[in-house]
Chain A
Amino acid sequence: MQRDMDLLLDTLSLPKAGAPELAEWDEAYGTVDNYFRACRVSSRLHRARLTAAVVHGAIRRRAAEAPTGEPLSSVAIKEARRLMDVWLSGLLPQRPDERPYSQAEGFVALYLCDGAVRWPHAFLNPEEAPPGFLDTLRSRLVKAGPDLEISSMVPRPLDRGIFPELADSARATFDRIPILRTLLFWTLFAAALVALFWYTRQ
């Protein structure tokens, strides 16, 4: 019981140098906790420990750097993302061309293997990864399409005959002089009326 209490108090103790206001601490804690929830870290205990560690790190970083007025929650989120980046780049394999993996690729690999859900306590854990986790993570690099095999596909010449050509030129004329379309419509309407008049007087 005493040991458990020590753990709790240890987790909750605030660093002395550059200690923020309690409200700022709370906001930073809430934001980072939310962020880890969005990362699917469902274990409350593990999340609490990670969140406290990240916020501590953020406080230390802010104290060590020149004051910028940046809110603690913002520094803490950046710290969380930085820690995840470092952690993931340590887990992902070396590329043949030795180019490092981007942060996005690491996140995607973790997402595809459901790392945070299937191995909740391995998340951001610098100690040795559990069996299965590392292999699964390394095998999950996304590929949206197979390698390209570029070829061409262009329309072949097609003689459409005289009528479409005439229709095309008529259409082009109507497009160029839109009033012609309206005039044609009126003319057709008038012609229909004249035809009707003539027919009924037969």
Chain B
Amino acid sequence: MSATIHHPSIIHLAPLRASARRQVVFFTAVVMLTGLATWVLADILWRGGIRKLEIAILIVFVPLFGMVALGFIQAVCGFLILLRRKDPFSISRTLPEKEPDPGELPATAIVIPIYNEDVSRVYEGVRMIYLDLVRAGYAKRFDFFILSDSNNPNKWIEEEVAWIDLCKQVKGFGRIFYRKRMVNLNRKSGNVSDFLRRWGRKYRYMVVLDADSLMKAETLARMVQLMELNPRAGIIQTVPSPIQAQTFFARLMQFSGTLYGPIFQAGLNYWQAACGNFWGHNAIIRCAPFMEHCSLPTLTGGAGNARFMSHDYVEAALMRRANFEVWMAYELGGSYENLPPTPLDHACRDRRWCRGNLQHAWMLTAQGLNPINRLHLLMGIFSYAASPLWLLFLVLGTLQGWFEATGPGPRFDSDVGLSSFLDVGGGRLALLLFAIAVTLLTLPKVLAVLLVLRDRKRRKEFGGGVRVMIGCVLEHALSVLLAPVQMIFNSRFVVEILMGRDVPWNPQQRDAAGGVDWEGIIKAYAPHTGIGVTWAVLAWRVSPALFWWLSPVTFGLMVSIPLCVVLSMPGLGRRLRALSLFVIPAETNPPSVVSHLEKNLESIHHRLTPSPWLGEQYGMTQVVIDPYINAAHCSLLRDKQAPGAAAHKHLQELADTLLAKGPAALNRKEQMVLLRNAQAVTDLHERVWCLPEAKLSHWWRMAMRDYNTLQDRPVTALYR
């Protein structure tokens, strides 16, 4: 302990006063760049007076360009920091060279809230982390808590069986725990709070993981060590690298995230310093202050019971408000996550995030928040609100083009303002502004590529210099096509949410097991295609020049259906990987946790699986038929009291229906009611075995036959 305790904390290395100076420099650069661009646009529009439409264009332009400028300055700062390889504000710098001895680390909980997730992926991830901790000698310092909020009865049973199997296989009883909440109050944040209320006092820290998170043992140990060295740190967020991408789309996102991510992260750390953000997972949290200060307030200030959907930003703001620091350990590495496999899944996730981020408007004026945290909240809102603004900007631009085309004569060519100085017309000036905007969007990518190209090892890990550049060009072209598609989606989400439409809590799709969903893609992207075609025809009729100006937007919308079909293909993704295109270091030089995870998950596909009709209800089948799983489920139920007369009658009716018609005759809620009662579950097991064959439904007869055929195979967590 003493070895680490005397190591200087981040606040000694980089006092907060210095971080304030950085913020002044950073935001001055953003304001100056935005101001200059606004001046140029105002000059273009203000030719012999300015119309109201042009004023509107100018107003919408300012925040849109401001975001572009902020991204650019952030990337440049990040590039310079990575070039110098020395960042006084990197919290990882406080770490000593030597890895901590297991005895130095306090007990830490690893909590994994799950909700109807792919059971195999969740438990394989836990297995990999646990075995890596055992290998590194840290296993005794970490307890795992799988916190289930699943409301799919089959998933619930699968989770229980997988937990028992996993504990049997890795001898994890007493180290890996499973808890199923009966009431899903306040979703994920409620699940974590529930854990803290029960066990929070036992642990100084908790590491929050997502269902698809993966972390190396050394990273976990280093995170705890960082917390010990920096006693004012309330949350330390790692930067998870995307892994396991199969589809073209996921590979594209994985490639761009890994290639461009570092400079943006270093730049983000440059200006946020100790006022960092929490992304909800792959982070370590100091339990005591989190419990004391970060319980989420109701969204409506007591008028209702609505809760924040995106809890993480708010929790970071509350932690900072309590004078604890929130850092991003962007140099730590060894932290991984999966990405949505298709553009459609990405849009579904965005819909959920959009609602969560828009809710942050309720916190913007809350008393006592740090201005940087307010900015994080505002940027979160703007990351979605920017889409309808961009759409508005384009619509206003189209109207402007129409007025120009049908007006008395071209105003842009008049020799006033900047044009008279630079001796160029308004049209050329507009092109110059466009070129500046494109440069600001493109240059960060170029800088990121340069960083990789100058490092031989990194270059090789990305498949070589030529492949990096090919990948970068392709990625850029495709992101140009995808941007307007995402703009239409996000605009729709914002409008729907503001109109009060609810956003369901659906589990996230994390792999591409289902292949291409043609019907879903056509349904989802038909409006985009329609908008694109209509817009292009209108623009052409107004003027060919306007058509070409708008073509990057309209073309992306018009080809959205074929584009998304191609991007959703796992086969194409695999072929690209075989060609070493869009490869990342975690693929070419994978750490053992990643390679073992991939190998194990791959082996699942070669295992004997239940027939599809049985697979759909496999959890229910197991708990009713299997004597052990039935007993295990009953043991795990906390409430074992016999139900009252009315409840007993209802349970009896449900059980009768289940046995007479099969599980599909009951809806999810009814199945959950049955599964929550230990007596009902035991009775079901006895009845299914005691009923003569003639009185059993055909479904159960077949299920018993099939189940026993499978039973001889080893039962492991690895099944679907």
A interface with B by C-beta (< 8 Å): 27, 31, 34-35, 37-40, 42, 71, 73-74, 77-78, 81, 102-108, 110-112, 114, 140, 142-146, 148-156, 158-165, 167-168, 171-172, 174, 181, 185, 199
Contacts and interface: CB of A to CB of B under 8 A. Distances in A.
B421 interface: no
6 contacts: A71-B692, A104-B631, A112-B167, A144-B178, A145-B199, A199-B53
Contact of A108 (B295, B298, B631, B691): B631
B553 interface: no
Nearest to B633: A104
A146 B143 contact: yes
Contact of A111 (B361, B364, B367, B628): B628
Contacts of B625: 38
B12 interface: no
Judged by DSSP, the binding face of B is: helix
Nearest to B685: A81
B199 A148 contact: yes
A13 to B, nearest CB: 25
Contact of A142 (B145, B629, B632, B693): B632
A60 B626 CA distance: 27
B52 A172 contact: no
Contacts of A163: 364-365
A153 B193 contact: yes
A38 B693 CA distance: 17
A155 B303 contact: no
B692 A145 contact: no
A159 B363 CA distance: 9
The 3 closest A-B pairs by CB, nearest first: A161-B365, A107-B631, A111-B628
Interface string B656-698: 0000000000000000000000100010001001111100000
B197 A153 contact: yes
Given A107-B627, A172-B303, A160 B362 contact: yes
A107 B628 contact: yes
Given A155-B297, A161-B366, A105 B303 contact: no
Contacts of A199: 52-53
Contacts of A149: 198-202
Nearest to A181: B500
B583 to A, nearest CB: 41
Contacts of A39: 627-628
Contacts of B304: 172
A32 to B, nearest CB: 9
Contacts of B363: 160, 164
A74 B691 contact: yes
A181 B678 CA distance: 47
A133 to B, nearest CB: 16
Contact of B627 (A38, A140, A152): A38
Contact of B300 (A102, A152, A168): A168
B200 A143 contact: no
Interface of B: 52-53, 143, 145, 164, 167-168, 173-174, 177-179, 193, 196-202, 291-293, 295-298, 300-301, 303-304, 318, 361-368, 499-500, 625-632, 634-636, 678, 682, 686, 689-693, 704, 707-708, 711-712
A31 B678 CA distance: 24
B140 to A, nearest CB: 14
A87 B711 CA distance: 23
B399 to A, nearest CB: 10
Contact of A81 (B167, B368, B678, B686): B686
Nearest to A152: B197
Contacts of A150: 197-198
B686 A77 contact: yes
A176 to B, nearest CB: 11
Nearest to B177: A145
Contacts of A81: 627, 686
Contacts of B143: 146
B193 A37 contact: no
Nearest to B691: A74
Contacts of A152: 197, 291
B53 to A, nearest CB: 7
B627 A144 contact: no
Given A74-B691, A77-B690, A78-B690, A160 B198 contact: no
A162 B364 CA distance: 11
Contacts of B690: 71, 73-74, 77-78
Given A104-B634, A146-B177, A161-B367, A153 B200 contact: yes
B174 A153 contact: no
A102 to B, nearest CB: 8
Contact of A151 (B291, B626, B708): B291
B367 A38 contact: no
Contacts of B361: 164, 167
Given A155-B297, A164-B301, 11 more contacts: A35-B689, A37-B708, A37-B711, A73-B692, A77-B686, A107-B630, A143-B174, A149-B199, A152-B197, A153-B292, A164-B364
Contacts of B693: 27, 31, 73
A153 B711 contact: no
Contacts of A153: 193, 196-197, 200, 291-292, 295
Between B143, B145, B196, B198, the greatest number of chain A beta carbons within 10 A of the residue's beta carbon is seen for: B198
A165 B423 CA distance: 54
Nearest to B203: A149
Contact of B303 (A71, A145, A168): A168
Given A38-B625, A74-B692, A145 B291 contact: no
Contacts of A71: 690, 692
Nearest to B179: A145
B114 to A, nearest CB: 15
Given A74-B690, A108-B635, A144 B365 contact: no
B362 A146 contact: no
B297 to A, nearest CB: 4
A150 B197 CA distance: 5
Nearest to A35: B689
Contacts of B704: 34
B686 A108 contact: no
Nearest to B708: A37
A42 B630 CA distance: 20
A156 B362 contact: no
B685 to A, nearest CB: 9
A112 B167 CA distance: 9
A143 B486 CA distance: 47
A179 to B, nearest CB: 13
A148 B198 contact: yes
Nearest to A154: B295
Nearest to A104: B631
